[in-house]
Amino acid sequence: MIKTTKLTKYYNKNARGILDVTLDIKKGEIFGFIGPNGAGKSTTVRTILNLIFPTSGKATVNGLDCVTDSVEIRDLVGYIPGEVHFYGDMIVSEFLEYAAKFTNRPYKKRQAELIEKLELDVSRKIEDLSLGNKKKVAIVQALQTSPKILILDEPTSGLDPLMQNTFFTIIKEEKKQGTTIFFSSHILKEVQEICDRVGIIKEGRLIQVETVEEIMQARAKRVRIKTSDTIKETDVFVDVIKNNGYMSFVYTGKINDLLQKLEKIDLQDLTITEPSLEEIFMHYYEREETK
């Protein structure tokens, strides 16, 4: 549904863009796009929406080219920008009408549903709203015309935890309707919660694309042990963190190999848990750096 091929945006020597980003987001999936601030998430999104032009490479949405068919693409897409800047002097309801009328699709019913779910006061001026409320306006304006594709750039920033949950419920409903969702975030927990697949971007390059399950289960365990033996860093014991007599590390090999190694040391305590996506993320990052 959203496809980029060696997409590259080069600004200048000081501002890094993106380099050779190749992505293929399937219809109906929620694709998480994670990386720290400045990694190139927004640049990718803005190139797809044609706010900026690619230096080389190509991006298509539903087979439409992001440069030549931009208007058609934007008719398919609902976009929540990372930082919300709307017309301050407009009343929320007036602004939502304005936003809806760029398309010819019906929106009244969906708009009312979203306003109710998000408990948004539409009678106020946009400039008087808190960051969280502005974010709600951003959500409604993007979703009210029921677009087939959603591009969300850090959509939960500014929302309180309760509203974040409401938002995730809305997004899960959208997925049930068959909406394709591109979810850019630097918060791994939320990506872990709702995404099917995850792309990790670092310094403008896409370094990994995998399903959340693959990342979470097949690859890595967080192992925490207590022992009086001295342990040398080997294939198994990498990046060991020592804390209060405990040692902990992320293990990505075969479980049997791990057990054989552990057998040979004097264990006083052992826990093996699923690491958080954050830990795995750091793991991928470090591995990239040593390459």
Partner 1 sequence: MRNLIYAEFKRNFRSLLLWTAIIVGLAGLMLIMFPAFEDVFSNIEDLLAAYPAEFLEVFGMGEGGLDMSNIYGWFGIEGYLFVTLIGGSYAAILGSSILSKEEDEHTIEFLLAKPISRTKILVGKCVVILLNLIIMNLVVSIILLIAFSVYGDLNIVVWLLYSFAPLLLQLYLAALALLASIFVTKSRKVISISLGLAIGLYVIMIISDLTDKAEFLKYITPYEYVNAKDIVTNHMIRPLYLGIALSVITVSVLTTWQLYKRKDITV
Span of 46-54, 224-232, 241-249, 270-278 interacting with partner 1 by CB under 8 A: 46-54
In angstroms, rounded to a whole number, what is the distance separating the alpha carbons of residues 133 and 122?
Answer: 10
Q: Is 20 a binder of partner 1 (CB under 8 A)? A: no
Helix (H, G, I), strand (E, B) or coil at 221: strand
For residues 96 and 280, which CB has a smaller minimum distance to partner 1 in the complex?
Answer: 96
Q: Quick one: which segment of 22-30, 47-55, 111-119, 156-164 binds partner 1 (CB under 8 A)? A: 47-55
In this chain, which of 50, 111, 156, 185 binds partner 1, going by CB under 8 A?
50
Q: Which residues of 85-116 are buried (b: 16+ CB within 10 A; e: fewer)?
A: ebeeebebeebbbebbeebeeebeebbeebbe
| Strand ranges for the chain from DSSP E | 2-9, 18-25, 30-34, 56-61, 64-65, 77-80, 149-153, 180-185, 197-202, 205-211, 221-227, 241-243, 246-251, 267-273
Size of the site for partner 1 (CB under 8 A): 28
The DSSP bridge partners found for residue 152 are 80, 183
In the bound complex, what is the minimum distance in angstroms from residue 156's beta carbon to partner 1? 18
Q: Which is nearer to partner 1, 104 or 234 (CB)?
A: 104
> Nearest CA to 225 among 254, 196, 248, 200?
248
> Measured from the CB of residue 117, what is the shortest distance to partner 1 in angstroms?
21
Q: CA-to-CA distance for 99 and 115, rounded, in angstroms? A: 14
Give the footprint of partner 1 on residues 68-87 (CB under 8 A).
Answer: 70-72, 74-75, 77, 79, 81, 83, 85-87
Instruction: Choose which of 6, 26, 63, 89 interacts with partner 1 (CB under 8 A).
Output: 89
Question: What x-and-dash track marks residues 124-153 binding partner 1 by CB under 8 A?
Answer: -----------------x------------
- Residues lying near partner 1 in the complex (CB under 8 A): 11, 46, 49-53, 70-72, 74-75, 77, 79, 81, 83, 85-90, 98-99, 101-103, 141
